[in-house]
Structure 1
Amino acid sequence: MGRLNLLIFSFLSTFVLVHCEDPYWFHTWNVNYATQSPLGVPQQVITINNQFPGPRINCTSNNNIVINVFNNLDEPLLFTWNGIQQRKNSWVEGTLGTNCPIPPGTNYTYKFQVKDQIGSYYYYPTTALHRAAGGHGPLVVHSRELIPVPFDWPQDEYTVLVGDWYTKGHATLKKLLDSGRGLGRPSGVIINGKRGKGDGTDEPMFTMIPGKTYRYRICNVGMKNSINARIQGHSMKLVEIEGSHTVQNVYDSLDVHLGQCYSVLVTANQVPKDYFFVASTRFTKKVETSTATIRYVGGKGPASTVLPEAPTGWAWSLNQFKSFRWNLTASAARPNPQGSYHYGKINITRTIKLVNSAGAVDGKLRYAVNGVSHIDPETPLKLAEYYQVTNKVFKYDIIQDDPPSDVGNKIVIAPNVINGIFRNFVEIVFENHEKSVQSWHLDGYAFFPVAIEPGTWTPDMRKKYNLIDAVSRHTIQVYPKCWAAIMTTLDNAGMWNLRSVQLERQYLGQQLYVSVLSPARSLRDEYNLPENFPVCGIVKNMPKPAPYSA
């Protein structure tokens, strides 16, 4: 009888161990080139499992995601998970500062957890100019069943990946940048890989039952331009921005800047027929527009060819940004920074001002941050830190926290790494002295965008900050001749990329890395180098360092 009890206890213990970990979702991706015509011109695109855009990753907060990527391209490849914070795990960030790329004809398995997150995100390739060929897809993190969302469950939900597009292939675009030239103007706009004709002949991309409410997750996956999104004859109730529930304001249209994702609720309360989802470029001399047909079930009649107009000017867009507020009463997984929900009451430890600039180096176009145009060394920055050979790869803090006013006059090409102090509460100010709208993304963190204002930032500008309910997010736009301020706690150890989301600017150096090292070198703060992690550069044949301890 004692042995039977022991066996029962052993069985139950095994059951609990198996089920105490959060669920796993396994994916196998075959990444290939294919010929498609997003803008009516045959060109090479990147597909995942023969899909363009790629397959949707659908999961729930705290789930574990395992993706085995087979690289069937003729070039090295990496993917990043735009907005997924990778707690303690910059090893899977998927940028050239953290990862050796996946060689052609091989595979690599990403494993990460969507820890304490909900919301709308997307993934895309970060190597070369592969992003200009596609390879992107939606990543949706739902709330756990026990946690209520602050709106009724919709009838269905749709992902809308919208962005500008070039008909020139990614290899041709890369040659342009490598030769010292710019990319020029995009050729058009696509929605979920297609450009609608807007004449009523397109097959419906979305359907709605009269009287029902639907969730549209809209992400700007483009390369150069902000996008205005609107739905013919319908209003949109904003409910989520990049992982945070928002105060539910109603809008006729939304400016979605590069790298950003918004969730809106749309009720099918109009005459049952077809309507257009409309997306057009913002702040461009020539406005590019695309449509996608929304069809009411049982409806009769084509969509009107008269499209709703987009707003003009960036002042309208700035006012819309100021109307966004975090829903502080909603129950949800709260994103990083942990413990910073009352961010307005935390003392600022460090202020970093970042000024973007453009110029020529040896006759070739480069973009810079505080006068430094980033270049990726052969040895990823994170590997150099882990193997403790940073002195052979890069130098910390070659830029100043408060650069001089003429910082953009001269550009230096070098790896650009800021030494972030673990658990410091930092204020980052982006100053845009140029005539175009900029967009910035920070990996590994959510931050609080407390202000965007015209002019030049000074400490006195803190009087204009929203210190109560700024929406916690990971991407921020900066309008021409304006500044933007964000706040975050550097509590996520790792090497994290802060980059311009504009592809041309990012590729030509407008990015940097924030190194956040835990003094304890403990597993409580950061995971060890994964067993299957490929190494390259000067550390390729070096013995692996002793792992972090508990």
Structure 2
Amino acid sequence: MAQVTSNLLLVSLILAAVIVVKAEDPYLYFTWKVTYGTISPLGVPQQAILINNQFPGPNINSTTNNNIVINVFNYLDEPFLLSWNGIQHRKNSWQDGMLGTNCPIPAGTNFTYHFQVKDQIGSYFYFPSTAMHKAAGGFGGLRVNSRLLIPVPFADPEDDFTVLIGDWYTKSHKAIKKQLDSGRSLGKPDGVLINGKSGKGNGKDVPLFTMKPGKTYRYRICNTGLKNSLNFRIQGHQMQLVEMDGSHTVQNKYESLDVHLGQCYSVLVTADRAPKDYYMVASTRFTKYKLSSTGVIRYTNGKGPASPELPEAPIGWAWSLNQFRSFRWNLTASAARPNPQGSYHYGGINITRTIKIVNSVGTSGGKLRYAINGASHVNPTTPLKLAEYFGVGSKFFKYDTILDNPLNIRKNRLNVVPNVIAATFRNFVEIIFENREKSIQSWHLDGYSFFAVAIEPGRWSPLKRKNYNLLDAVSRHGIQVYPNSWAAILLTLDNAGMWNLRSNQWDRYYLGQQLYVSILSPARSLRDEYNIPDYFELCGIVKGLPKPPPYTI
């Protein structure tokens, strides 16, 4: 009898294990209504894009490997798309939400995004990628928490706060779009917002966050703006950096942080000062004009207003460059993260291709345009990914219209075309961003994290590789390039799909400073890329065409 009981117990354990293995990861469901609404963050009533009547939009709180399903209803008067800044969409560029991969959601209809935050942790945000909708809102925080079984390299904080900072314009998004379409530049913003508000700094502001004395809090700070890098600091408090763009970092402490466009930083802040109010400050960097905003943090036992003496931002970009050099990947921290080609040891992988990206500005038809290597991107009526998938890509674009290593970019000689690079699946590549202008630039690559191995003044050459950090550069999805400087990143192209590489300055992005990287799996296998979803919106020339044979295992 004991043997039978033992065998039954063994069978039960095996069945339980099989069920656990086959069980799907948890699902999170959301229904979002995208509408217009009136807000006055800078004291001027203006039309904004709201999600579920919120500005900024709802915060997504997820955990590694969660499946996220978001049914988006577009109640605007024009097509709309959302993109997910920093979410890698493994094998699934169908959910990227960019005009090169998705048909925009027509006015009065809906579309359901379905993606998995596979092997990721960290701080991200979502935003509208169509027209100049980002100038009107429609953005919000997206966090991916570590699973309970995965140790995190710091104690659980008392609470977890999302801080969305960004420059802001009081013009409507339609007026800004019309301004850019007419050939005029975007111009200076009207202010800076923190979580959709601009503090008056007069002691009467409602606190954005509260802290208990002696407790430690996590602040996730993301720059969701259009044009400016911002410096962020908290009056009287140090910030202990623990994560950026989805990677745990060496936990250095900072008085302030330069947060560049599209980037996110997580810091720990301990309420160890005198019990009263304190200001958090976000202010513009690397510009002749100075714009700033404040937000109040209140101690629960606070006994007085914040001091009117605000901490100053640093001056110059050399300080910012040195701060970049202080960032290091935490090599001892456990985390959910892909490891293509053993890329934790990325310094030992041979580079198979170098792609040099040079930003430039010029004109086409007498109107302002921005470009990469002399090519200014324009979106065709059929998204590039759909055209490629249905075998009609040659009707809309040519691969590799730009050179990997442009020797000379002629001023004002721009080629306005759909800009697509064909890249080899699983190649280990080096991308060089060379900024020959006097303003700071910021770049982002969808679908990937990369190793930000160097930023230096001057022009890049192969000899500069001796200065790369080949041990513990932070794996991230965005990088800044200072004036007349260059930056280098390394990555394995293991995520098949069509992915957007873009300037994070949104006027530059809108006027052509972007391209798409096409990475096709030779095997055409589901192991490498998902099939187009059955419910996927089709538009342009492929609408009504029969779908190609599906990929198989």
Q: Could you tell me the TM-score, scaled by structure 1's length?
A: 0.97
Determine which of 149, 172, 176 is the counterpart of 2:175.
Answer: 172
Q: For residues 443 and 456 of structure 1, what CA distance do their matches in structure 2 show?
A: 26
Determine which of 356, 361, 382 is the counterpart of 1:358.
Answer: 361
Correspondence 1:313 to 2:309: no
Tell me which residue corresponds to 1:241: 244
Query: How far did residue 500 of structure 1 move?
Result: 0.3
Determine which of 518, 522, 528 is the counterpart of 2:531.
Answer: 528
Correspondence 1:101 to 2:76: no
Q: For residues 159 and 152 of structure 2, what CA distance do their matches in structure 1 show?
A: 15
Amino acid at match of 1:333: A
Given that residues 209 and 296 in structure 1 are in contact (C-alpha distance below 8 angstroms), is that contact kept between their aligned partners in structure 2? yes
Given that residues 356 and 408 in structure 1 are in contact (C-alpha distance below 8 angstroms), is that contact kept between their aligned partners in structure 2? no
Taking a change above 3 Å as real, the CA distance of residues 521 and 486 of structure 1, as seen in their structure-2 partners, is: same
Taking a change above 3 Å as real, the CA distance of residues 13 and 241 of structure 1, as seen in their structure-2 partners, is: closer
Q: For residues 374 and 122 of structure 1, what CA distance do their matches in structure 2 show?
A: 24
Amino acid at match of 2:345: H
Given that residues 346 and 470 in structure 2 are in contact (C-alpha distance below 8 angstroms), is that contact kept between their aligned partners in structure 1? yes
Correspondence 1:334 to 2:337: yes
Query: How far did residue 405 of structure 1 move?
Result: 2.5
Given that residues 42 and 191 in structure 2 are in contact (C-alpha distance below 8 angstroms), is that contact kept between their aligned partners in structure 1? yes
Given that residues 336 and 446 in structure 1 are in contact (C-alpha distance below 8 angstroms), is that contact kept between their aligned partners in structure 2? no
Tell me which residue corresponds to 1:546: 549
Amino acid at match of 2:489: I
Tell me which residue corresponds to 1:495: 498
Determine which of 257, 269, 272 is the counterpart of 1:254.
Answer: 257
Tell me which residue corresponds to 1:129: 132
Matches for 1:278-289 after TM superposition, within 5 Å: 278-289=281-292
Correspondence 1:469 to 2:472: yes
Unaligned runs of 5+ in 1: none
Correspondence 1:232 to 2:259: no
Tell me which residue corresponds to 1:218: 221
Structure 1 stretches of 4+ moved >4 Å: 12-15, 335-338
Q: For residues 24 and 325 of structure 1, what CA distance do their matches in structure 2 show?
A: 33
Unaligned runs of 5+ in 2: 1-7
Tell me which residue corresponds to 1:368: 371
Determine which of 469, 481, 490 is the counterpart of 1:478.
Answer: 481
Q: For residues 101 and 66 of structure 2, what CA distance do their matches in structure 1 show?
A: 23
Correspondence 1:266 to 2:269: yes
Tell me which residue corresponds to 1:116: 119
Deviations 1:43-92 (A, max 9, x none): 00011111100001111000100000000000101100000000000000
Tell me which residue corresponds to 1:70: 73
Correspondence 1:29 to 2:26: no
Query: How far did residue 393 of structure 1 move?
Result: 1.2
Query: How far did residue 203 of structure 1 move?
Result: 0.6
Correspondence 1:399 to 2:402: yes
RMSD of the TM alignment (CA)?
A: 1.5
Determine which of 183, 195, 212 is the counterpart of 1:209.
Answer: 212
Structure 2 residue matching 1:342: 3-state secondary structure: helix
Q: For residues 200 and 76 of structure 1, what CA distance do their matches in structure 2 show?
A: 42
Amino acid at match of 2:33: N
Given that residues 94 and 126 in structure 1 are in contact (C-alpha distance below 8 angstroms), is that contact kept between their aligned partners in structure 2? yes
Tell me which residue corresponds to 1:138: 141
Amino acid at match of 1:274: D
Amino acid at match of 2:66: N
Q: For residues 455 and 429 of structure 1, what CA distance do their matches in structure 2 show?
A: 12
Structure 1 stretch displaced more, 290-299 or 332-341: 332-341
Tell me which residue corresponds to 1:449: 452
Query: How far did residue 16 of structure 1 move?
Result: 2.6
Q: For residues 441 and 335 of structure 1, what CA distance do their matches in structure 2 show?
A: 19
Q: For residues 440 and 120 of structure 1, what CA distance do their matches in structure 2 show?
A: 17
| Number of corresponding residues | 542
Given that residues 243 and 335 in structure 1 are in contact (C-alpha distance below 8 angstroms), is that contact kept between their aligned partners in structure 2? no
Given that residues 369 and 511 in structure 1 are in contact (C-alpha distance below 8 angstroms), is that contact kept between their aligned partners in structure 2? yes
Q: For residues 114 and 148 of structure 1, what CA distance do their matches in structure 2 show?
A: 18
Query: How far did residue 547 of structure 1 move?
Result: 0.6
Tell me which residue corresponds to 2:428: 425
Determine which of 154, 164, 170 is the counterpart of 1:161.
Answer: 164
Matches for 1:145-156 after TM superposition, within 5 Å: 145-156=148-159
Deviations 1:202-233 (A, max 9, x none): 01101000100000000000000000000000
Structure 1 residue matching 2:198: 3-state secondary structure: coil
Structure 2 residue matching 1:85: 3-state secondary structure: coil
Tell me which residue corresponds to 1:323: 326
Tell me which residue corresponds to 1:516: 519
Q: Could you tell me the TM-score, scaled by structure 2's length?
A: 0.96
Q: For residues 338 and 128 of structure 1, what CA distance do their matches in structure 2 show?
A: 38
Amino acid at match of 1:124: F
Query: How far did residue 15 of structure 1 move?
Result: 9.7
Given that residues 207 and 297 in structure 1 are in contact (C-alpha distance below 8 angstroms), is that contact kept between their aligned partners in structure 2? yes
Determine which of 33, 58, 69 is the counterpart of 1:55.
Answer: 58
